[in-house]
A and B are shown apart, each in its own frame.
Chain A
Amino acid sequence: MARVTLEHVTVPLRSFELDVSLAIGATVALVGPSGAGKSTVLNAIAGLVRPSGGVIRCGEETWFDQDVFLPPERRSVGLVFQDYALFPHLTVRGNVEYARRHAADEYLERFGIAHLANARPAALSGGERQRVALARALARDPAILLLDEPLAALDAHTRVEVRTELQQLLAGLEIPTLLVTHDFEDAAALAQEIGVIVDGRLRQTGTAADLVARPADPFVASFTGANLLRGTPTGSPGSIRLEDGTLITAAEEVGEATTLAVYPWDITISTHPPDDSALNVVAGTITAITELGNRARVTIGPVSAEITAESLRRLGLETGGRAYAAFKATGTRVVA
C-alpha cells in the first residue's frame, strides 16, 4: 500500500495561502470549517488544481513538484465529489464502465447496485448515488481514494445509515484514503487519523481521542466537540454497555446503538460518586488535564470533560486521581 505524501503544498486561496504537509497511509480525515482549504487539498492531490509550490508523491512516483505536473488522467486517483458528479446521460452501469470497461459487473455487485444497473442517476436516492460514485471511483483501482464531504449531500436519516456502510467499506479497503468533512463526528467515525485544518494550515493531527483529550488550541477544542463512547448494545433502546460494564443511556430511543456521544461541557466532575441515579456516570482515573485560559479539559477514562479553571482548583483535581464524570441522558446522543 503506497503512501501519498504532500510536502509543503501551497495554493493561494482567496484570503490566505494553503500550506499543507501530510502523509496518507491509511484513512485520514481532514476536518475544518468551510473555506479552510480542505477541498483544495483533495483537488491538488487529484491534479485538478495546480499548486504554486511543494511536492506530491505517490509511493515512488512524483505527481507534482517544480518540474512535474501530472494531469488527473495520469494519476491513479479515485475521487468522489460532494454531490457525486455522476454522468446524467449514462446509466449506472455506464458510469461505472466509464472507469473500467470490463469489470463493471463486479463492482456493481460489490456495492449492491447491480439491480440499478440500467437506471439513470436522476432516478436514484442519495444513498444509492453515493454507492455508484464509490463504485465508479474504485473501479479505477486507484492508489488513493479521495472523498469530498461524503455525507454532506444526505438527509439526517440517511446519513447514519450511509456512514455505517462507509465505515465498513473503508475498513475493508486496503488503499490510503483521504476524506474531507466539516463534521468532526463523521471524521471520528470513519478515519483513524484526523487533521484539523483552519485558514489553510494544519493545526493538529492525531486520533479522534487525541484531539478531544489534548486539543492544541481552543479552536480545535471547540471544533472537535463531542466525546464518543463505544460499547455493545444492551437491548434497551438508546443504551450501551461500555467495556468495563458501565451502562450509558441516551435520551433518544433509536434502537440498537453502539456509539454514544456527549459534549465535554455537558459533563460535571466530582470526586465522589454522585447521588442521582438518573445520571450517566463514568468512573475512572484522571489521565490528562489541559488548561486553556479559564477553562480546562479533564480526561477521565474514555471521556474528556470541560470545566472552568475555577472548578478545577476547587475540586483539587490531579492527574492520577480518581474521579467521576457525570452527565444527563438528555445530554447524551446516539451517534451510531
Chain B
Amino acid sequence: MRNRFGGGLFVLLAAVALVFLVLPIVGIFFHTTPGRVIGQLSNPVVVDAFVVTLKTSLVAQALILLFGTPTAYLLATRRFTGRSVAVTLVELPLVLPPAVAGIGLLAALGRNGLLGSSLHFLGVTLPFTQAAVTIAVAYVASPLYIRQAIAAFEAVDPRLPAASRTLGAGPVRTFFRVMLPIARGGLIAGLALSFARGIGEFGATIMFAGSLQHVTQTLSLAIYYEFNQSFDATLAMSGVLVIISALLLLTLRIALSWHESPSNTSPSLFGLSSST
C-alpha cells in the first residue's frame, strides 16, 4: 500500500516538474501567431542579432576548445601542488553573476583596465566591439566545457595512455591517438553545454560589449530591448528563438548519435556524468 502511494507521489512530482518546464514555451506560442513568428524572420533586427550571435558563438567555442582542452587535460592527468586551486579558479566564472563577470572584464580589458590600458596603448580597444561579445561569451561558458572535459579525461583508464607510451608513441601522439578519441564523447557534451550557455549570455555581454544592432546585439539582447518596445514583437521573436534552439538541440543530438562512444550511454544530450 505504501509502495503504491510513494510511487504515485513520485509521478505527481515529476508531472509538476515537466509541466513547469514546458509551460513557458507553450505560453510563448499560445500568445503569438505563426504568421508573426515567420514575419520576424525577415525583421532585420532578428537577422542581425542571429548573425552576431552565430559569429560570436562559433569563435568563442573555437577558442574554448583550443585553450580549454589542454587546460582540462593537464588538470585531469597531472597532480601538482596548487592543483585544487587551479581547478577552483577555472570554475569561478560559473558562480559569478554574469553582470559581475561583465564588470570584471571591463576592469581587466577596458580602456583603463589592468591589461586593457596596455592594449589601448598598442591601439587595441576591446569594449563595445564584436570581439568583446566573443570574449564575454567565452568567459562565462568556458568553465562548463572545462569541467566536463576534466571529467572526460579523468574517466580514461590511465593504463591506456601508459600502454600507448610503451608501444612507442610519445606524449603528443598519445594525446591525439588515445586520450582524445576516448574522451571525445564527454568533450562534445561539454561543448554542447558551453554552446548553450554562450547563446543565452546577457549580463556580461551588455556590460562589456554594449548593445548595437549588427555589431554587438545578440539574440538575447535583441529580445530584451524589444520587450521594452513591443511585447507582441517580443513574443514573435521569442518564438523564433525557441525554434532555433530546438533545431540546435536536434542537430547536436544527431551529431552525437553518429559518434558512438563506449562511454556515452546516457540519453541526455549533455551526457552529464555523475563524476566530478
Contact = CB atoms under 8 A, between A and B. Distances in A.
Interface of A: 46-48, 71-73, 75, 77-79, 81, 83, 85, 87-89, 98-99, 122, 136-137, 140
A99 B261 CA distance: 23
B204 to A, nearest CB: 37
Interface in B149-165: 157, 159-160, 162-165
Given A47-B166, A85-B162, A136-B167, 8 more contacts: A46-B162, A71-B170, A73-B165, A73-B170, A85-B157, A87-B178, A89-B262, A99-B168
Given A47-B165, A72-B166, A98-B164, A81 B177 contact: no
27 contacts: A46-B162, A46-B166, A47-B165, A47-B166, A48-B166, A71-B170, A72-B162, A72-B166, A73-B168, A73-B169, A73-B170, A75-B166, A78-B166, A79-B162, A81-B159, A81-B162, A81-B163, A85-B159, A85-B162, A87-B164, A88-B182, A89-B181, A89-B182, A98-B167, A98-B169, A99-B167, A99-B168
Nearest to B173: A73
Nearest to B170: A73
Between B159, B167, B169, the greatest number of chain A beta carbons within 10 A of the residue's beta carbon is seen for B167
Contacts of A85: 157, 159-160, 162-163
A77 B169 CA distance: 12
A71 B174 CA distance: 13
Contacts of A72: 162, 165-166
A212 to B, nearest CB: 34
Contact of A140 (B157, B167, B182, B262): B167
A98 B161 CA distance: 12
A87 B165 contact: no
A71 B165 contact: yes
B22 to A, nearest CB: 38
A316 to B, nearest CB: 56
Contacts of B178: 87
Contact of A98 (B162, B177, B261): B177
Contacts of B168: 73, 99, 140
A130 to B, nearest CB: 14
Interface string B164-190: 111111100000011001100000000
Closest 8 CB pairs of A and B: A72-B165, A85-B159, A85-B163, A79-B166, A99-B167, A89-B181, A73-B170, A72-B166
Nearest to A77: B166
Contacts of A79: 162-163, 166
A270 to B, nearest CB: 52
Nearest to A72: B165
Nearest to A78: B166
A78 B168 CA distance: 9
A122 B169 CA distance: 23
Contacts of A47: 165-166
B31 to A, nearest CB: 49
Contacts of A77: 166
Contacts of B159: 81, 83, 85
A219 to B, nearest CB: 30
Interface string B234-247: 00000000000000
A79 B166 CA distance: 7
A73 B171 CA distance: 9
A136 B167 CA distance: 8
Contacts of B169: 73, 98
A46 B164 CA distance: 12
B209 to A, nearest CB: 40
Contacts of B163: 79, 81, 85, 87
A178 B166 CA distance: 15
Given A89-B182, A89-B262, A122-B262, A48 B167 contact: no
Interface string B197-234: 00000000000000000000000000000000000000
A88 B155 CA distance: 13
B174 to A, nearest CB: 8
Contacts of B177: 98
B184 to A, nearest CB: 8
A72 B161 CA distance: 11
A88 B159 CA distance: 12
| Most-contacted residue by chain A among B157, B160, B163, B165 (CB, 10 A) | B163
Nearest to B184: A89
A46 B262 CA distance: 28
A78 B166 CA distance: 7
A71 to B, nearest CB: 7
Contacts of B157: 85
Contacts of A98: 164, 167, 169, 177
A311 to B, nearest CB: 49
Contacts of A89: 181-182, 261-262
A87 B160 contact: yes
A41 to B, nearest CB: 15
A77 B170 CA distance: 14
Contacts of A81: 159, 162-163
A48 B177 CA distance: 19
Interface string B256-269: 00000110000000
Contacts of A71: 165, 170
Nearest to B263: A88
B56 to A, nearest CB: 33
